[in-house]
Structure 1
Amino acid sequence: MAIDHANLARLDLNLLVALDALLTEGSVTRAAARIGLGQSAMSHNLARLRRLFGDELLTRGPRGMQPTPRALALAEPLRATLARIEALVSREERFDPRTAARTFRIGLPDSAEVLLASALLAQLTAAAPGIHLRLHNIDSARLLDDLDADRLDLAIGLGEFAAGQAHHKRRQLMTEPYLCMFDAGRTGLVPPISLEDYVRLPHVLTSLREGERGVVDDALAALGLRRSVVLTTPRFLAVPYLVARAPVVVTMLGRLARFFAAELGLSLSPPPVALPDVAVSLLWHASYDADPAHAWLRRQILYIAREVAAG
């Protein structure tokens, strides 16, 4: 498609930067601070944007400024366009991890933090001392929204997540089998655990979502069976200490279970029901595809995950 250069030359591209800041922040004041303008200048930009698009774009509501449907439709193509422009003008800049200075925000559950973060931290301190990480708890229900709103640069998720859209990029890092973990003395069991004992014992459930149902419950339901979940927690790291002090069983990621069992003298067993392996995936927004620092960090995480998967 031919570009109408004369028409495009009349457009102040800084207005698009202002629009992205307004849609990201939902506030004239915060958008102004984000790009270093005064509030009155940002208000003037919003007025120009409204004339340009023939739409209010942001309207005042009970919870502050709310985007109109037209603004919501503009948000993703606008961000992708600005990211391409940024990559275009900085393309000649070479990324050198030894001298780069940048902070990345990564959302992940504590199980993935145990599996991957220590090796990633060691790699960064050795090869990229100016690259810093800020780790955040993950909320699977709003994960894609956090990536869209640029609250996270990357996310490491377990299992299935919402399918997302074309700009939600995903790369599988590894798959994890399940193992059962329990205290042999408190439960009176010797591995492998039987289906009868598995159903009889009270269970601890780790879940990042609300509710007391997981993949184990679906597998048992297919056999016409149920278990009793006495405690549910989103914190994987608390589970081994709960299991070590009570006659309960937990079904969790295999590598974590092996690590904790060795540390606390707990017993392991394959689950007595067929369970699918858990996919561990890396997720990011397509706006960062061409970002050299972002791409470098993704490669480090992928390499470390392969090392972990290899044992």
Structure 2
Amino acid sequence: MLNEIDLSRTDLNLLVLFEAVLGEGHVGRAADRLNLTPSAVSHGLGRLRRLLNDPLFLRTPKGVVPTARATELAAPIADVLARVRSVMATAAPFDPATAMRRFAIGAPDGVSAVILRPLLAELSRIAPRIDVGVRQILPSPARVWRSAIVDLEAHAIDIAIIPSDDIPPRFEKRCIYEEDFVIAMRPGHPFARDPSLERYCSMQHLVVSDSGDPYGFVDEQLAKQGRARRVALTVPNFMFALAVIAETDLISALPRRFVAMHAARFGVLSLDAPLPLPGFRLNAVAPKVAMMDAGVAWLFDLLAEQTAQKHPSGLPARSRQS
């Protein structure tokens, strides 16, 4: 990427600047992230543009977008910086008991609501100066988690936790827990007295869908049996779903661990589904080059250790019926 002459007079911080502007998509936000002025960032971009002989970022009304060349350079630069950070980290070995760092975790809200309670408890005990930021990530159409991969490669997040096994080989992947679905409803709901498939199909349903699309995996399973249901409402997240279910006659298929951990505060009950619903695995994902960072590797292992424990109710996940 750089010849020997250029490298001898190149400031490595220009690559850090590139990484920040790419991740933020905005010069001002990149400046805030780097504790620099927007003018200093613009000046650094000018030097980098001359060095790489490309505009790199094009201005838009909402910020900047990378050129084709900048997109092509994103992965190699991320690899270079990860290796440099790994080398520098060896000078001060990562010790969670004393380390002062902030990590970013990306996950759907139904997943972050499950992992945060045990994670925060453990951090308080063994790593009191470690801070965590949680970023909600959403699937692309057809439930593909491409945005998580993009965020990882742009260093917007350190680790993603997603319900997908379709992970490129350049990423480390580990299953941290398995999940399935239960049917959630308010206390005294008529469905609880007759939890049959026919009765289920006659109910009014709530579906969690950020896009507002009312057709989901439950509808796919019903269609296989020649059945359908009425989706009366869609909401954008699982916590909102619990709040709505608690005060209406709507019912919803929600993740079992999530319901076991949070339904009691809303007074919501759950039953096993009257039809087979697919389970899925939640995988922690991080770039393999990022795993060279001892801090990221430590958090990756900690997430697996905390969430691989038994069901929060104290019973095995599939034996619980509330």
Tell me which interval the TM-score lies in, with the shorter structure as reference length: 0.7 to 0.9
1:138 match:
137
Q: Aligned partners of 2:34 and 2:192: how far apart in 1?
A: 62
**2: CA distance between counterparts of 1:107 and 1:202?**
32
Tell me the TM-score normalised to structure 2 length: 0.80
- Matched with 1:96 is 95
Shift in CA distance, 8/265, structure 1 to aligned 2, threshold 3 Å? closer
Decide which of 231, 234, 237 is 1:235's aligned counterpart.
237
Distance in 1 (alpha carbons) for counterparts of 2:173 and 2:212: 24
Q: TM-score with structure 1 length normalisation?
A: 0.83
Establish whether residue 69 from structure 1 lines up as the match of residue 68 from structure 2. Answer: yes
Counterparts of 2:289 and 2:50 in 1: how far apart (Å)?
27
Change (3 A) 1:20 1:273: same
Aligned counterparts of 2:21 and 2:267: Cα–Cα separation in 1: 54
Instruction: Determine the structure 2 residue equivalent to 1:170.
Output: 173
* 1:155-185 alpha-carbon deviations (Å, 9 max, x no partner): 323x348x46444443221111211233463
What is residue 157 of structure 2 aligned with on the other side? 152
- Contact persistence 2:74–2:154 (CA under 8 A): no
Shift of 1:4: 7.8
Given that 1:186 and 1:246 are in contact with CA atoms closer than 8 Å, whether structure 2 keeps it comes out as no
Q: Is residue 159–residue 286 contact of structure 2 (8 Å, CA) maintained in 1?
A: yes
Query: Which residue among 179, 204, 210 is the counterpart of 2:182?
Result: 179
Whole-angstrom distance in 1 between the partners of 2:41 and 2:267: 61
Structure 1 residues 109-258: aligned runs within 5 Å: 109-141=108-140, 142-157=147-162, 159-160=163-164, 163=166, 165-183=168-186, 185-187=188-190, 189-190=192-193, 193-258=195-260
Asked if structure 2 preserves the Cα contact closer than 8 Å seen for 1:187 and 1:248, the reply is no
SS in 2 for 1:180: strand
Deviates more, 1:194-203 or 1:29-38: 29-38
Question: 1:203, 1:227 within 8 Å by CA — same for their partners in 2?
Answer: yes
Larger radius of gyration: 1
- The farther-off stretch of 40-49 and 167-176 is 40-49
**Structure 1, residues 159-215: CA drift from partner, whole Å, max 9, x if none?**
348x46444443221111211233463316426x21110111111212344411111
| Cα offset, 1:272, TM superposition | 2.0
CA 1:305–1:28 in 2, change beyond 3 Å: closer, same or farther?
A: closer
Q: Distance in 2 between matches of 1:40 and 1:259?
A: 48
1:185 maps to a residue whose letter is G
Aligned-pair distance for 1:150? 2.7
| Amino acid in the other structure paired with 1:292 | A
1:100, CA displacement in angstroms?
Answer: 0.8
Structure 1: gaps of 5 or more residues: none
Q: Give, in angstroms, the shift of residue 87 of structure 1.
A: 0.8
How far does residue 6 in structure 1 lie from its aligned partner after superposition? 6.6
Kindly indicate whether the alpha-carbon contact (under 8 Å) linking 1:80 and 1:286 is maintained by their aligned counterparts in 2.
Answer: no
Match of 1:84 in 2: 83
Aligned residue pairs: how many?
Answer: 306
State the identity as a percent: 33
Superposed CA offset, 1:254-284 (max 9, x none): 2333455666665543222221103222233
* Structure 1 counterpart of 2:89, one-letter code: S
CA positional deviation for 1:223: 1.6
1:280 alignment partner in structure 2: 282
Note closer, same or farther for the CA distance 1:88–1:132 as it changes in structure 2 (3 Å cut).
same
The one-letter code matched in structure 2 to 1:307 is Q
Name the counterpart of 1:19: 18
Amino acid at match of 1:190: R
Alpha-carbon offset, residue 33 of structure 1: 5.6
